[in-house]
Amino acid sequence: MNKNILESEMTHIPMTFRARVGKTVIVLPDGSRGVVRRGATIDNSMVKLIVRGFRWQRMLYEGKFTSIEDLSAAEKINPSYVSRVLRLAFLSPKVVQTILDGSHPAWLTMRDLMQPFSLDWQQQEKKFLYELKDSTSRVTSKSGF
């Protein structure tokens, strides 16, 4: 076949494929899902991560453990991981609610939540709910981290 014919028949559709737990989601350049959802798509892995952060924060607050190191030893988890998950207990209620009800942006992943973020709720909402992520700036692993 002629190369010119092949090129003229090509259609470029800008989109990104995001690996989710057990499924792949098409994310369009504006951050919306490529395939319209039939309702809320709750990411149970993100929900569990947030719940774990709140649970650990409560355990420290109640005095069951005196430090992150004590907590991580009891949970048999790396202290660095514990401290990153603990930050999730300080997420904006609006961010938490959108994740719990499945209305969060399609591009938001656990990996995004595990990155450092401001404690200011308005900045968190801007970062996690409104800013479009550049899909070329990172590689998503199978686990989402």
Task: Give CA–CA dist 107/63, Å, rounded.
Answer: 37
Task: Give CA–CA dist 139/121, Å, rounded.
Answer: 27
Asked whether the beta carbons of 33 and 25 are under 8 A apart, the reply is yes
Domain range summary for the chain, segments of one domain joined by +: 38-131
For the chain, 145 residues long, give each residue's pLDDT as a single digit of tens: 555 555 567 666 676 666 666 666 777 777 776 665 555 578 889 999 999 999 999 999 999 999 999 999 999 999 999 999 999 999 999 999 999 988 888 888 889 999 999 999 999 999 999 875 554 444 333 334 3
DSSP string, the chain: --HHHHHHT------EEEEETTEEEEE-TTS-BSS--SS----HHHHHHHHHHHHHHHHHHTTS-SSHHHHHHHHTS-HHHHHHHHGGGGS-HHHHHHHHTT-S-TT--HHHHHS---S-HHHHHIIIIISPP-GGG----TT--
Task: Give CA–CA dist 67/73, Å, rounded.
Answer: 10
